[in-house]
């Protein structure tokens, strides 16, 4: 058989091996037989540090707080996109460079649709901890202040100081996030209690905003005379608004600066400790 025919056969065999998953590029990250791809269409590449070690939880928190990956914009673009897989890739590589052993994590949800990427760290005192730095694309801001204008009060929402969050990830349960600085307990029950408190916050906030709108309509274009019953009523109403605002401030201090909408019920979890 001519030599070129042997080359052709070997090439076909090699292509077949790759096609069935028998040969993987050691620089890439896989979920099963599929290469994980970033927002720009390029494969995710996890860079390990052979000297990296598992951190304490305090060391992990200190690293995540100073890491700036969460400040990046979430972009969907065919060539320059930056999505959750890219956030997770950068957090992993930054942690490894800092001497902290890290994993990139892929989560699939029940019902299909888009999955999600985040990170995991096997802390030496608190066990496996999931960290998500991509919350800005699916969040409601909690922190706000009131500003008084000629038309009345307006509610101004403040930007959060950080998008970093602890992720509560269990198969068969809702994917939940709590701001890093507010994740006091790391078992799933803490997230369920946190969610219930946030729902209370949301209801009080709705009532507060409705009352602010009514107050503004009541005082717009009117003059109230000193000592009049009308002024006393308006002042009492204003005091009630300030009391509600204080209650919201207290809840916000406990809950953090932002609420992250749940992404779905977790079906599968894939943990990638460096290139496969």
pLDDT 10s digits, 179-203: 898 897 889 999 999 999 988 888 8
pLDDT in tens, 72-90: 888 887 677 899 999 999 9
Supply the range of the domain harboring residue 242. Answer: 139-159+188-259
> How many domains does the chain divide into?
2
CB of 165 closer than 8 Å to CB of 133: yes
The continuous run of DSSP H or E covering 260 comes out as strand 258-260
Q: Tell me, yes or no, if the pTM score tops 0.85.
A: no
Which range (117-126, 137-146, 205-214) has the least confidence?
A: 137-146
**Residue 215, in any domain of the structure:** yes
**Residue 221, in any domain of the structure:** yes
**Together in a domain, 153 and 47:** no
CATH of the domain at 36: 3.30.460
**Residue 126, in any domain of the structure:** yes
> Which of 94, 113, 110 minimizes the C-alpha distance to 102?
94
Alpha helical stretches, state H, the chain: 3-19, 57-66, 84-97, 188-219, 229-255
- The owner of tokens 């050691």 is 26
Number of alpha carbons in the 13 Å side-chain half-sphere of residue 46: 28
**Together in a domain, 268 and 212:** no
**Residue 226, in any domain of the structure:** yes
**Together in a domain, 72 and 143:** no
DSSP letter for 181, please. Answer: G
The Cα 266–Cα 261 span in angstroms is 14
**Together in a domain, 252 and 268:** no
């Amino acid at each position: 058989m001519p030599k070129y025919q042997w080359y052709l056969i070997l090439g076909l065999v090699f292509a077949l091996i790759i096609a069935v998953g028998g040969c993987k590029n050691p620089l890439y990250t896989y979920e099963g037989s599929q290469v994980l791809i970033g927002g720009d269409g390029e494969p995710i590449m996890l860079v390990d540090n052979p000297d990296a070690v598992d951190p304490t939880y305090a060391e992990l928190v200190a690293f995540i707080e100073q890491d700036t990956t969460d400040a990046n914009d979430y972009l969907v673009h065919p060539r320059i996109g930056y999505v959750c897989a890219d956030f997770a890739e950068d957090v992993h590589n930054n942690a490894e460079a800092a001497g902290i052993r890290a994993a990139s994590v892929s989560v699939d949800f029940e019902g299909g649709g888009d999955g999600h990427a985040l990170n995991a760290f096997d802390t030496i005192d608190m066990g496996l901890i999931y960290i998500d730095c991509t919350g800005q694309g699916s969040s409601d801001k909690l922190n706000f202040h009131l500003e008084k204008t000629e038309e009345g009060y307006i509610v101004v929402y403040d930007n959060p100081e950080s998008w970093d969050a602890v992720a509560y990830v269990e198969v068969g349960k809702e994917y939940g996030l709590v701001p890093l600085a507010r994740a006091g307990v790391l078992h799933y029950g803490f997230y369920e209690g946190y969610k219930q408190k946030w729902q209370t916050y949301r209801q009080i906030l709705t009532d507060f905003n409705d009352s602010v709108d009514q107050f503004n309509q009541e005082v717009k274009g009117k003059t109230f005379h000193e000592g009049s019953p009308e002024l006393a009523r308006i002042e009492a109403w204003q005091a009630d608004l300030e009391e509600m605002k204080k209650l919201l401030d207290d809840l916000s201090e406990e809950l953090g600066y932002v609420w992250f909408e749940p992404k779905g019920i977790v079906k599968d979890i894939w943990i990638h400790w460096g290139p496969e």
